[in-house]
Amino acid sequence: MLASPNESGDARRSRYVTVCQQLLALALVLAALTPAAQTITMDVRPVSPSAGEHAGTRLHEAAATVPTAPVDPEVEEYSLTAPQGARLAPGALRASSRRTTAGGQQLTSDAVPVDGYGAIGVTWQHGAELEHDAITVTARTYDDGAWSGWTDVEYHDEHGPDPGSDEALRARPGTEALLVGDVDEVQVRIATEAAAPADMKLAVVDPGEARTTTREKPAIDTSTLDTDENAGVIESSEGDLTQRAAVTATKPKIFSRAQWGADESIRDKGSLHYYEVHAGFVHHTVNANDYTRAQVPSIIRGIYAYHVRSRGWSDVGYNFLVDRFGRIWEGRAGGVDRPVVGAHTLGYNDNAFAASAIGNFETARPSKAMIKAYGRLFAWKLSLHGVSANDAKQYVSSRNFKAINGHRDAGSTACPGINLYNKIGRIRTLATEAQQGWRGRELESSLIGNARPDLVLRRASDGKVFLRQIVPAKDGSGYRLGKKVATNLVLPDAGMILKAGDWNLDGYGDLIAKQGGDLWLYAGQGRGKFAAPTRLATGFGQVAKLAAVGDFTGDGKPDLMGQPKGGSMRIYPGNGASGLKASYAAYSPIKGTKQIPAGRWDGDGAPDTFVRTRSALTLYLGNGPGGLTTKKSMSLAIGSYNWLLGVSDVDLTGHGDLVARTRRTGELWVIPGTTSGFKAPVSIAGSGAEYDLVG
């Protein structure tokens, strides 16, 4: 029976944002890799970095002057053409127009006032499609009694939410936001190959001014992130994931949305959704290049306001922004560690993230600090989702890309500017150097302590727990159960025994037993012996399909996954001997009787899992820090088996396998697994009939 254990205390919950950080050098982290996937919300729980500095990845933790409260930006829009089929009152159009001899049209706006550290952009009617070279927009500013020269306002038809998405239904085509700064007036000039599009508007953005500011270091420490329990669940969808095994890396510090003064009331919170991350794209904002450190928050607010209030997007389009000082800023809301779908790379948003460099890199060269920041960011973000930074073949929505790309690799655009695009090879190198391989995502199946997987078996007659390895038969045909290794555990009242991997990170495999609604950790001591139990968690009485699934969150610590009665499948992130961190949804509700951990079954960097019914087995692929995505029905007859569990490589072919027990006879089988399915079952000599519980 479970003895009366000493409780370790309530499981500690770390929160998403920590504020005080110190200067430190980033180091290599041997951590686990999570995959890319459609799920949902993801949680990252990285291990602490070591003291050594990795080449090219010194953490630049310069503080920033940031608002102490949200700042409300203002957008003033001036009509330049009438909406389709409508007329505007005399004087409502703020532009003069003339036809060109080539059949096109040229518009010149009125000079309009600019308030604050302003930005401008031009948009037109939803659904009006213009090729990027079919329109030219330039702007000039008036300040100190004189007009500037004309400056290009960039337009790329490859920026925006994906067609068919809810966000795209209200999106307006338009130019990029151009920073004009502290000037008195602005004027735009537009030349089109044909008639100008309907409902064209000039947007002038005042990013607002913070009433009070403070000096802060980055608020988001990616090594201590906690989950957003309110993040939404994404339903499953079919598709092919072709990620390679990858790794986790150094953990950057990121300035939060609050630190650039985001007014969260203006974005569409209901449109936040998640999918997969297979690759990353480098963009540039096409803004000015000579901004100061203190001006960065207002620049981001201007982009945010223009994207939301003029372009009609649900939030700022980019997942991250990087300034010329090497500082990383959180872009679109939803969690920097999760696969938040943005509006950045048209047609590829569902399967990628984007970081935009603040500046115009057609005309300027990116700083070394900016390039190093990109290397850190991409190393970490890709590794969370199971992607190697140097991977040359990642399937993104409809075609293959490298793991790290420029926006121009996805479409006809100059973005991210030739000078930044020429540095993408360097970014790949830095990101690859910052990633370090680690096999912690494999199923850890040996408690005895060698390469052969073993089973944890409870004898029905007395509740004693034994370990038995699966070893080759002496005649070379099939397998047999190795000798019994007695543990010091007697658990007749346990309803479940889980092989938890190295839960407390001391180098030995551990067990978790479930008794009623409580979970107890039995820390391994090697050679089949275990320490006295400590309570990990309570309240698991109504959690079905509970399984120890390995490191789903990519922080180097094993995790649990289960489905509360009436709820969605959830991740319960492990926190070592301290218990569990806050759970979060990993998938919509899954029908079935039992969850069976699968390790990295499909060969990418993400752990996967099976769910069985009485007669069918379904594989659910993992997507990154803690989620499931594509499901696949497996062609395997399992109706005669009452035991079915995932183990590591029994046949030593480099892939996980299953162990099954025939319900009627107690006969045991190895079912060799492959990335495409299963081989024929192979008998294990030695009956499992005397045991009533297996782990």
Dihedral sign of CA atoms 32, 33, 39, 40 in order: positive
**What CATH number does domain 454-694 carry, 3.40.190.10, 2.115.10.10, 3.40.190.80, 3.30.200.20?**
2.115.10.10
Name the one residue in this structure whose structure tokens are 């809301």.
333
Q: What's the mean pLDDT in 42-53?
A: 27
- Pick the range with the lowest mean pLDDT from 15-29, 71-85, 381-395, 484-498: 15-29
Give yes or no for a contact between 648 and 444, defined as CB atoms under 8 angstroms apart: yes
Q: What are phi and psi of 247, to 5 degrees?
A: -155, 165
- Pick the range with the lowest mean pLDDT from 186-190, 224-228, 338-342: 224-228
Higher per-residue confidence, 146 vs 234: 146
Which is nearest to 627 in space by CA: 31, 32, 38?
Answer: 38
| CATH topology (fold) of 64-218+246-434 | Lysozyme-like (3.40.80)
Contacts of 441 (CB under 8 A, 6+ apart): 32, 33, 34, 550, 551, 599, 600, 605, 606, 607
Encode pLDDT of 309-360 as tens digits: 999 999 999 999 999 999 999 999 999 988 899 999 999 999 999 999 999 9
- Pick the range with the lowest mean pLDDT from 32-36, 85-89, 303-307, 493-497: 32-36
> CA neighbours within 13 Å on the CB side: how many for 474?
2
Which is nearest to 31 in space by CA: 522, 550, 521?
Answer: 550
Q: What's the mean pLDDT in 478-483?
A: 91
CA distance linking residue 220 with residue 254, whole number of Å: 5
**Position 55 pLDDT exceeds 50:** no
- Please, which pLDDT band fits residue 373 given cuts at 50, 70 and 90? very high
DSSP string, 493-505: T-SEEEEEESTTS
Name the one residue in this structure whose structure tokens are 């939404």.
232
DSSP string, 322-348: E-TTS-EEE-SSS-TTS-B--SSSTT-
Residue 116's pLDDT is 93
* Tally of residues, the chain: 695
Largest CA distance in the chain: 97
Residue 318's pLDDT is 97
Number of H helices, E strands in the chain: 4, 46
Burial 127-146 (b: 16+ CB within 10 A, else e): eeebeeeebebbbbbbeeee
Per-state percent for the chain, helix, strand, coil, to nearest 5: 10, 35, 55
Single pTM value for the model: 0.70
Give yes or no for a contact between 204 and 177, defined as CB atoms under 8 angstroms apart: no
Whole-angstrom Cα Rg for the chain: 28
**Position 235 pLDDT exceeds 90:** no
Report the mean per-residue pLDDT for the chain: 84
Query: Which helix H or strand E contains 668, and what residues bound it?
Result: strand 668-674
Q: What's the mean pLDDT in 234-260?
A: 59
Q: What are phi and psi of 349, to 5 degrees?
A: -65, -35
Q: What's the mean pLDDT in 377-400?
A: 89
CA distance linking residue 213 with residue 78, whole number of Å: 32
Give yes or no for a contact between 445 and 390, defined as CB atoms under 8 angstroms apart: no
Encode pLDDT of 142-180 as tens digits: 999 999 999 999 898 788 999 889 999 999 999 999 999
DSSP string, 276-320: --SEEEEEE----S---GGGHHHHHHHHHHIIIIIS--SS-S-SE
Alpha helix locations (H) across 396-513?
418-421, 424-434
**Position 67 pLDDT exceeds 60:** yes
Distance from the Cα of residue 55 to its chain's centroid? 25
Query: Which helix H or strand E contains 141, and what residues bound it?
Result: strand 135-143
Q: What's the mean pLDDT in 216-225?
A: 88
Percent of the chain past pLDDT 70, that is, above it, reads 85
- Please, which pLDDT band fits residue 403 given cuts at 50, 70 and 90? very high
**Position 34 pLDDT exceeds 70:** no
Give yes or no for a contact between 552 and 581, defined as CB atoms under 8 angstroms apart: no
CA distance linking residue 72 with residue 269, whole number of Å: 17
Q: What's the mean pLDDT in 396-401?
A: 91
Residue 410's pLDDT is 92
Residue 624's pLDDT is 64
Residue 288's pLDDT is 82
Higher per-residue confidence, 445 vs 586: 586
Percent of the chain past pLDDT 90, that is, above it, reads 63
CA distance linking residue 346 with residue 411, whole number of Å: 8
| Structural tokens at position 259 | 């630190």
Other CB atoms within 10 A of residue 392 CB: 11
Q: Which residues pair with 467 in a beta bridge?
A: 456, 485
Give yes or no for a contact between 273 and 232, defined as CB atoms under 8 angstroms apart: yes
Name the one residue in this structure whose structure tokens are 């904002």.
285
Give yes or no for a contact between 128 and 83, defined as CB atoms under 8 angstroms apart: no
CA distance linking residue 677 with residue 505, whole number of Å: 32
| Structural tokens at position 243 | 């990620």
Encode pLDDT of 100-118 as tens digits: 877 899 999 999 999 999 9
Encode pLDDT of 554-594 as tens digits: 777 899 999 999 999 999 999 988 899 999 898 999 999 99
**Position 606 pLDDT exceeds 80:** no
Residue 507's pLDDT is 82
**Position 693 pLDDT exceeds 80:** yes
Residue 529's pLDDT is 93
**407 secondary structure, DSSP code:** G
Contacts of 242 (CB under 8 A, 6+ apart): 278, 393, 394, 395, 604
Q: What are phi and psi of 420, to 5 degrees?
A: -80, -40
Q: What are phi and psi of 558, to 5 degrees?
A: -65, 155
**Position 498 pLDDT exceeds 60:** yes
Can you give 106-124 as a three-state secondary structure string? EEEECCEECCCCEEEEEEC
Name the one residue in this structure whose structure tokens are 């770390």.
14
Q: Where are the domains of the chain?
A: 64-218+246-434, 454-694
**Position 640 pLDDT exceeds 60:** yes
Give yes or no for a contact between 54 and 434, defined as CB atoms under 8 angstroms apart: yes
Which is nearest to 244 in space by CA: 435, 52, 29?
Answer: 435
